[in-house]
Amino acid sequence: FGITVSGRSARLSGIEDMVGLFINTIPLRISTYSQVETAAVLKQIDDFLREKEAYESTSLVKIKELSQLGPDEKLFDTLVVLENYPLDSRLKREGGPSMVDSYSIFEMTGYDLTVEITFSEDIEATFIYNHEILEKSTLERMARHFTHLLNAVLENPGKEVDEIDMLSEEEKRQILYDFNDTAATTPMEEYIHELFIKQAGRIPDHIAISG
């Protein structure tokens, strides 16, 4: 998936005195295994994020040239944005020389899915998606899975990846019982081949078996 970076690396001399937008988007690929504790996975991701600082200014065009992807293939179609500068609380804060009473923002990206995660007093996740690719119900289910996974990791960081279930108890019941409630009632005194012959006699022109 893609991530956004501020581009204001401390390695650049005088960066704090420069005016302008340095934000860049780069891909992040993480490989892990199911028999690894989630705490170790988080540590691995943190290490990756530190290593990527050396490549924050590299353009997506250059990265694409160095990849093994074809000209029509995307580096990623999902973007994750971490917002650790919550401006809304600062803008609405009373007591200063000026304050903002209200504001609105319209956001649009060129990716099928963008997940914005804002850190302030709480953690807030916003899902921006392409309505032509994804349905609202899919995003609502994804949001529930995200919350469920996050809580599971926080409650027990020692669990291995394959031990964490993103499904809620309600979804489990639906998959195990509701979706599988497809059994047909068949007379116990008849054999399978006899039932097959009867069915073929009722609808002889229908396809019996396809492989």
Residues 6+ apart with CB under 8 A from 60: 25, 26, 27, 75
- C-alpha closest to that of 111 among 81, 140, 70: 81
pTM above 0.75, yes or no: no
Q: Using alpha carbons only, give the angle 6, 8, 9 rounded to the nearest 5 degrees.
A: 115
- Evaluate whether 28 touches 1 at the Cβ level (below 8 Å): yes
Q: pLDDT tens track of the chain, all 211 residues?
A: 988 877 666 666 776 777 767 778 888 888 877 788 888 888 988 888 888 777 778 888 888 888 888 888 888 899 998 876 655 555 555 566 777 777 676 666 778 999 998 887 788 888 999 988 899 999 998 898 988 888 888 888 888 888 888 887 888 888 887 777 766 666 667 788 888 888 888 888 888 777 6
